[in-house]
């Protein structure tokens, strides 16, 4: 009897102790959630990471109690306790093994490049994060999880799995597994071409154990244009963009599919510049550089000028062509771009930036379509392919109904600094048919008097200041067809509507604009009503951001 009473007393004490531990963990996790909310509202990241790390460490320590671990085998209660412990450990690792050390490494006063400082931290945190991500995902599927626990797990699990998936990719890209060569392509939005602009400037970067250096630079004058590079592209792409897609490096960005562009540009480099191994291609434009300068602050150029967030787009995409306005001065323009690239690169490799501001800047660049990446390594490419940074149009409408509107200047000019654009989509559902009326308007927002004063570099190489030609390509949703097309303007034409490219119907238009003129084109795509995700409009990143409007009529919300 006494032994039974003692056993009962021990059980009660264990339950009481476990209850105390649960309350402690709950308090720490609640406080941690509050810290996360403060960060999302703009709180200081360094201080927030310290607080989050403290709460995560305390919660993980409490949940590591042997009585807690023993109770994880109890039906119903056990999975909830296990889920809470894993969530606590995840916060601890994310904050204390990854976040805080990485922030400290970035801000350290060290002669070592910033990425070389960060790489060992990623390598050390990766195994634990991977294990926790798998364990948390497994317990996430347990139907016995109660409301608060499930909410917490559903919040932490995607963050953890994302980090676990990203770390090995980032380590690979930084050269953790051996030297890697990346071709950095600068797209010039002043001459709009498909994915961004003329691909006129390239830089070869080498990453080795986190140390990144510039090992080569080139520009379009160094390539054998009009001589096709040995890259196979589909007939559909040639039907829309002609052999200029592979005969001229400046127009390699015409097709709205970054893997296509990346492989073409890599082939140009390897044939005409040097037979380097190319492990990946990165694309960036001055719009994205202005975002990056938000995080680095101003940088000094070799000319003595300051390049900053406010003047980057104007200086790199317009003023430089006014300063050196003739083709004879092209070497001066090229040298200026090279100086800008080197100055920004130096600031990045030194770690002279606000980490969270840089994350925000890169995210803005990716969402704008101004930063893209392709990897020659299949495993890495498969990981990034579903992401916006891959520059790939989705092949179905499951997550979103993506519609693309892309522009290609054919004036041989830098006139798109003055171009205004807008895109509208009207989605309708009638009698079992889903339709998308996609319209695009272009406005050449410069007077004839101003156009007559444009230097050679900006004016049209074909027509001077008298007119400017832009091709418009509208890519409809997969599973639809072109139902009708209309045009509105003095000199606007339908080029083709019978081409399917990237698994999508395409309506192609030609617009010729004189200064101050407007033109609009519309294509209606239709298909059997079904499972369409929310409409997502993608377009060429223009200097003057393309305005978008979306209207839905008679379509059930998902």
CA distance 452 to 103: 52
Between residues 141 and 205, which one has the greater pLDDT?
Answer: 205
Residues 149 and 187 in one domain: no
Mean pLDDT of the chain: 86
Which of 333, 351, 380 is the last residue before a domain boundary? 380
Residues 203 and 304 occupy one common structural domain? yes
Q: Which residues contact 465 (CB under 8 A, 6 or more apart)?
A: 448, 451, 452, 454, 459, 515
- Helix/strand/coil for 19: helix
Q: Is residue 254 domain-resident? A: yes
Same domain, 161 and 184: no
- Copy the structure tokens of residue 463: 């027509």
Q: Give the integer Cα–Cα distance in Å for 56 and 25.
A: 9
What CATH number corresponds to the domain at position 512?
A: 2.60.40.1170
Closest CA to 229 of 252, 247, 242, 215: 247
Instruction: Note whether residue 347 is domain-resident.
Output: yes
Check whether residue 17 and residue 156 sit in a common domain.
yes
| Helices 45-63 + 77-92 axis angle, to 10 | 140
Instruction: For residues 458 and 543, state if they share a domain.
Output: yes
Tell me, yes or no, whether 230 and 332 share the same domain: yes
Alpha carbon of residue 315 to chain centroid: 24
Residue in 345, 365, 366, 355 with CA at minimum distance from that of residue 291 = 365
Contact 217, 276 (CB under 8 A): no
Q: Is the pLDDT of residue 37 over 60?
A: no
Q: Is the Cβ–Cβ distance between 366 and 499 less than 8 Å?
A: no
Structural element, H or E, at residue 493: strand 492-501
Q: Bigger pLDDT: 355 or 229?
A: 229
DSSP 123-156: HHHHHHHHHHHHHHHHHHT-TT--HHHHHHHHHH
Of the three residues 142, 171, 200, the one that is the final residue of a domain is 171
Here the CATH number for the domain that contains residue 205 is: 3.40.630
Residue 37 belongs to a domain: yes
Token digits of residue 152: 């917490």
- Helices 100-107 and 45-63 cross at an angle (nearest 10°) of 150
Instruction: Report yes or no on 385 lying in a domain.
Output: no
What pLDDT was estimated at residue 6?
39
Same domain, 74 and 223: no
Q: What is the pLDDT of residue 14?
A: 33
| Same structural domain, 26 and 143 | yes
Q: Give the C-alpha separation, 154 to 150, whole Å.
A: 6
Name the 3-class secondary structure at 179.
coil
Domain identity same for 330 and 460: no
For residues 190 and 197, give the distance between their C-alpha atoms in angstroms, rounded to a whole number: 7
Task: Average the pLDDT over 239-263 and give the result.
Answer: 96
Q: Quote the pLDDT of residue 13.
A: 34
Instruction: Enter the tokens of residue 210.
Output: 């986190």
**Are 315 and 399 within one domain?**
no
Answer whether residue 390 is part of any domain: no
Q: Which two tokens stand for residue 133?
A: 């991500």
Interval 110-123: pLDDT, tens: 778 888 998 998 89
The answer to whether residues 286 and 352 belong to one domain is yes
User: What is this structure's pTM?
Assistant: 0.89
* Three-state DSSP string of 244-306: HHHHCHHHCCCCCCHHHHHHHHHHHHHHHCCCCCCCEEEEECHHHHHHHHHHHCCEECCCCCE
Residue 41 confidence (pLDDT): 54
As for how many domains the chain has, the answer is 3
Q: Are strands 468-475 and 180-188 parallel, antiparallel or unpaired?
A: unpaired
Domain boundaries, position 308? 180-380
Structural tokens at position 105:
């490494």
In a domain, 239, yes or no: yes
* Residue recorded with tokens 């890599």: 266
Dihedral angle sign, alpha carbons of residues 371, 377, 378, 384: negative
Q: 62 and 123: one domain?
A: yes
Lowest mean pLDDT segment, chosen from 345-354, 374-383, 462-471, 481-490: 345-354
Q: What is the pLDDT of residues 274-293, one digit of tens each?
A: 999 999 999 999 999 999 99
Render pLDDT for 200-237 as a digit per residue (tens, 0 to 9). 789 999 999 999 999 999 988 889 988 999 999 999 99
**DSSP element (H, E) containing 428:** strand 419-430
- Report if residue 107 sits inside a domain: yes
Q: What is the pLDDT of residues 169-202, one digit of tens each?
A: 889 999 999 999 999 999 999 999 999 999 978 9
Decide if 389 is inside a domain: no
Last residue of a domain, one of 321, 350, 380: 380
End-to-end CA distance of the chain: 63
Geometric angle at alpha carbon 475, from 520 and 362, rounded to 5°: 100
């Amino acid at each position: 009897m006494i032994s039974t009473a003692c056993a009962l007393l021990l059980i009660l004490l264990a339950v009481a102790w476990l209850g105390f531990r649960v309350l402690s963990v709950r308090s720490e996790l609640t406080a941690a959630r509050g810290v996360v909310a403060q960060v999302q509202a703009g709180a200081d990241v360094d201080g927030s990471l310290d607080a989050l790390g403290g709460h995560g460490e305390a919660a993980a320590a409490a949940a590591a109690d042997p009585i807690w671990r023993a109770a994880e085998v109890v039906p119903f209660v056990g999975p909830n306790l296990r889920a809470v412990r894993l969530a606590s450990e995840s916060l601890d690792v994310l904050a204390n093994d990854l976040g805080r050390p990485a922030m400290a490494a970035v801000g350290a006063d060290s002669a070592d490049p910033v990425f070389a400082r960060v790489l060992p931290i990623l390598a050390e945190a990766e195994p634990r994060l991977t294990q926790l991500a798998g364990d948390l995902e497994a317990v996430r599927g347990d139907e016995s999880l109660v409301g608060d626990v499930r909410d917490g797990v559903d919040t932490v699990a995607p963050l953890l799995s994302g980090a676990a998936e990203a770390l090995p990719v980032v380590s690979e890209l930084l050269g953790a597994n051996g030297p890697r060569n990346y071709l950095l392509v600068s797209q010039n939005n002043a001459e709009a071409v498909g994915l961004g602009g003329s691909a006129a400037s390239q830089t070869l970067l080498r990453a080795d154990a986190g140390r990144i250096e510039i090992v080569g630079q080139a520009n379009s004058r160094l390539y054998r244009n009009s001589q096709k590079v040995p890259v196979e592209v589909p007939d559909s792409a040639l039907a829309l963009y002609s052999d200029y897609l592979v005969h001229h490096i400046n127009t390699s960005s015409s097709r709205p599919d970054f893997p296509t562009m990346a492989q073409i540009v890599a082939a140009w480099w390897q044939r005409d510049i040097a037979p380097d191994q190319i492990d990946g291609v990165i694309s960036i434009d001055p719009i994205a550089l202005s975002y990056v300068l938000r995080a680095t602050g101003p940088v000094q150029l070799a000319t003595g000028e300051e390049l900053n967030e406010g003047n980057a787009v104007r200086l790199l995409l317009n003023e430089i062509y006014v300063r050196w306005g003739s083709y004879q001065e092209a070497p001066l323009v090229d040298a200026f771009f090279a100086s800008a690239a080197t100055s920004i690169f130096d600031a990045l490799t030194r770690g002279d930036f606000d980490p969270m501001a840089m994350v925000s800047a890169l995210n803005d660049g990716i969402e704008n379509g101004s930063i893209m990446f392709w990897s020659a390594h299949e495993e890495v490419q498969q990981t990034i392919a579903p992401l916006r940074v891959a520059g790939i149009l989705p092949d179905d409408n499951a997550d979103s109904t993506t519609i693309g509107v892309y522009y290609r200047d054919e004036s041989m000019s830098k006139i798109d600094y003055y171009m205004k654009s807008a895109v509208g989509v009207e989605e309708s559902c009638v009698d079992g048919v889903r339709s998308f009326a996609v319209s695009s308007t272009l406005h050449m927002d410069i007077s004839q008097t101003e156009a007559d004063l444009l230097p050679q570099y900006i004016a049209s190489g074909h027509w001077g200041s008298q007119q400017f030609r832009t091709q418009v390509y509208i890519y409809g949703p997969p599973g639809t067809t072109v139902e009708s097309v209309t045009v509105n303007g003095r000199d606007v034409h339908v080029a083709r509507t019978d081409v399917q490219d990237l698994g999508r119907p395409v309506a192609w238009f030609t617009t010729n604009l004189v200064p101050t003129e407007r033109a609009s084109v519309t294509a209606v795509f239709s298909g059997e009503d079904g499972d369409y995700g929310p409409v997502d409009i993608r377009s060429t990143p223009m200097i003057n951001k393309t305005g978008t409007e979306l209207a839905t009529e008679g379509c059930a919300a998902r």
